[in-house]
Amino acid sequence: MRRNNLGVLLRHLSAHGEQSRTQLAAAIGLPKATVSVLIADLIERGLVQEGELNHAGAVGRPHRMVDLDDHRFCGVGAEIGVDHITVVAMNLRGRIVHEGRRALDVPALTPQATLHEAGTLVADCLAAVGERGTEAIGITVVTQGSIEPLAGTVAAATNFGWRDVEVAGALQRQLGPGSPPVTVENDAECGAVAEYVAARSEGERELLYITGGIGVGAASISGGKLLRGSEIGHMRFDRFDRPCACGRTGCWELAVGLQAFLDLAADRTDDVHDRSADLERRLGKLVDRAAAADARTRAALAAIAGDLALGLSVLVDVLNPTRIVLGGYFALFGEYLIEDVRQHLESRRISPTAPRVEVVASTLGLSSAARGGAHLSLEKVFDDPAIAALREAGG
Ligand SMILES: [Zn+2]
């Protein structure tokens, strides 16, 4: 009961920012005396800190506001992408307090070599925040593919060439005894979490995140809860009746994945197909062509938008999101895709009274999946604040 109330207080502060004890008591329906005791506990655990004296609008004595402690703890997210590793540390208030990034050709390396690089970058991050007196609560490794969260393994990540790779255990051994617990999560799911956290202040509860790369990943958040385990890129449509890398035919990502877009936008001899060149630069060329109203690029985007909307309309019927966030390469071309997608979805709406879906492009950029991972690391302490030990007197 008490642990539960500690968590309720932390989540309320996370959602609403700085509050007085009186405001907290009114918001969560506990006596102010009880709230004061719980806040004292959270302060001792380094999860909450007192702020400035507030004189404004108060009757009687001024009172101190309380807020999440922005210093004592952080969560770490480490994203392994096809060509990079990104590590971020995020404080309880959701701000990034450390970021590290390294370019890496993951498919060309063994999984062990890639994980060793990731472990080095994470160790650098832990050392950097540790010097400032900040401790990591947990580390979430974010990868593509299908994850076995309980085993801490990647069952299959086609674009990495990984199959049954032990991730959490390997990293835990490299970081050594006493290091924060390591978990593994899927990149689309972490991207969805990051978008949800960014949209939460606007009251967003039903969000569908879709990310376009070589694969197409998606995850949705409903009522504040992450829905896992979708292989959305491999939804079948008769009209895309071609063989897919997954062994089946007609998969959605054959029509809207990055390779489909590149094939539509340029001949195979074009630089944008050159896999030895940086993907961001190749896509940057196509962004420039789209901006210059190049007919072939614009036609490719129109085709992608139509097929994107075809799959999204199915997902909208099943999941009823109020907002769709386009991530990955879709976000780079948001201004050419969104209006088309919106019109397609509108024309396929089940009834005129069905709620409209907002379609937006992600603005979180390259570190969004790592941010989502760091946020999931922090969830452990929101679920059970008692995992943060009480500090010794004077400590
Ligand atoms: Zn497939």
Cα–ligand 1 centroid distance for 366 (angstroms): 25
Cα–ligand 1 centroid distance for 73 (angstroms): 41
Of the candidates 203, 230, 195, the one whose C-alpha atom is nearest the C-alpha of residue 325 is 195
Q: What's the residue count for the chain?
A: 395
Residue 344 has a CB neighbour count (10 Å cut-off) of: 18
Q: Do residues 368 and 362 lie in contact, with contact meaning Cβ atoms separated by under 8 Å? A: yes
Cα–ligand 1 centroid distance for 30 (angstroms): 52
**b vs e for 251-279, b when ≥16 Cβ sit within 10 Å of the residue's Cβ?**
bbbbbbbbebbbebbbeeeeebeeeeeeb
Cα–ligand 1 centroid distance for 217 (angstroms): 12
Q: Rounded to whole angstroms, how far apart are CA atoms 294 and 53?
A: 59
From first to last of its 395 residues, the chain has per-residue pLDDT tens of: 788 899 999 999 998 889 999 999 999 999 999 999 999 999 999 999 998 777 665 566 677 899 999 999 999 999 998 888 999 999 999 999 999 988 888 989 999 999 999 999 999 999 999 999 999 999 999 998 889 999 999 998 877 889 999 999 999 999 999 999 999 999 989 999 998 888 876 777 789 999 888 788 888 888 777 776 556 788 899 888 889 877 889 999 899 999 999 999 999 999 999 877 777 889 999 999 999 999 999 999 999 999 999 999 988 888 888 899 999 899 999 999 999 999 999 888 777 777 788 999 998 877 889 999 999 999 999 999 998 886 654 43
Write down the pTM of the prediction: 0.83
**b vs e for 53-63, b when ≥16 Cβ sit within 10 Å of the residue's Cβ?**
eeeeeeeeeee
Q: Rounded to whole angstroms, how far apart are CA atoms 204 and 224?
A: 9
Sheet holding 73-80, edge to edge: 96-103, 84-91, 73-80, 135-143, 182-186
Cα–ligand 1 centroid distance for 231 (angstroms): 9
| HSE (side-chain half, CA atoms, 13 Å) at 321 | 26
Cα–ligand 1 centroid distance for 147 (angstroms): 17
Residue 98 has a CB neighbour count (10 Å cut-off) of: 21
